[in-house]
Each structure stands twice: as structure tokens, then as C-alpha cells.
Amino acid sequence: MKYTAKNYEKLIGMEGFSETLLKNHFTLYQGYVTNTNKSLDSLETALKEGKTATAEYAELKRRLGWEFNGMRLHEYYFENLGGKTGLDKTGRLAKKIADNFGTYENWEKDFKATGAMRGIGWAVLYEDLSSRKLINFWINEHDVSHPAGCNPLLIMDVFEHAFMIDYGLKRADYIEAFFKNIDWKVVEGRLK
Ligand SMILES: [Fe+2]
């Protein structure tokens, strides 16, 4: 079974995101899908040929985490965009956010601060499935540092390709645009 790149062109026209930026981002995402498939194929071949104790095999195994997570996180990211309405303040997610962070405003402040950290990566609101706690995580290189046993609810890409075409170095302005377009129904629907 091969992974197929999903089509997110419905996001074109979203306020604060140019068509050029989005199309470049879609192309980059498609590269992750292609390379996930290639990595899996090459690993399967190496296994069949008994070449698992090789440097190539080890490198491919490492690369698989990078390609796969790059694919999947972009899918979560694009899917949690394109929303037109704010968070339902009476809904399940709003209640969980208030339980965990005191207020929605506190959560938003922490999530934005996470996304504004120096460096490239992702800000992710995770639901810990063991404790049901909500935690904002900073994920640097995406093949490492995801919290085990946690469910990603809201993903914000803060690699430079996600904003530089439109915002240059003004990452805070991109984060504001991102917040205006969150699809909160999708985010709430991810709660377990
Ligand atoms: Fe990206």
C-alpha cells in the first residue's frame, strides 16, 4: 500500500496566506509523501535481500521517521486550517482547555509563545491519553521528540517555509494569521 498525497487546494484564498506560499507548501508536503513511500520500499527490499546490517539500512530507518512525520504532520496542519468560526466556548475542547490552563487566553498565550520560540519546528497541542492532560509541546526536528502516547490536536508549522514567502522574518504576524484560520471543529473532533 502506497501513501497518496491529499489535496488541500480548498485552502487557497484563505486570509493571510498567499497562493504562492500555499502551493509551495503543498509541493513540499507531496515530497514527504513520495519519500515516505520510497523509504518504505527501499527498507522492504533491503529486508528481502538480507541487507539489514548495513549503513544504508540504518540511515533509511532513521530517515523514515523524518519523512513519515513530515507527511503526517503536514496533513494534520492543513486539515486544522480553513476554519471560519472560533472555538465553541461551550464545547468539550473549550472545557478541557479551561480545566488545564485556567482560561482559553492562558492556553493561547502559551501556544503562541511555543510557536514563537527561536528555531524551526512545530507547536503542537497534545492530549496525553494516559492522564487526559493537555500540553503544548515544542517539536523541533520532527523525527524526534514527539511525546509517546499522546494525541495531536492542533498543529502549527513554524518552519520558515510556512511563512517567509508572505511574512519574511515576522513570524508573530504569521501566527496571528494562522489563528484566524484554525478549523476548531476539526481540532475538537480529534479529542479522544
Ligand atoms: Fe511545512
Query: What mean pLDDT is reported for the chain?
Result: 97
The span from the CA of 72 to the CA of 31, in Å, is: 12
The pTM (predicted TM-score) of the whole model is: 0.96
Distance 28 CA to ligand 1 centre (A): 7
Specify the residue for cell string 520532527. Answer: 142
Checking if the pLDDT of 145 tops 90, the result is no
Q: Provide the grid cell at 172.
A: 508573530
Distance 70 CA to ligand 1 centre (A): 8
pLDDT score recorded for residue 65:
96
The span from the CA of 115 to the CA of 92, in Å, is: 24
Average pLDDT over residues 83-109: 96
Distance 42 CA to ligand 1 centre (A): 24
Distance 152 CA to ligand 1 centre (A): 16
Distance 60 CA to ligand 1 centre (A): 21
Distance 23 CA to ligand 1 centre (A): 11
At 49-59, the pLDDT tens digits run 999 999 999 99
Average pLDDT over residues 57-77: 97
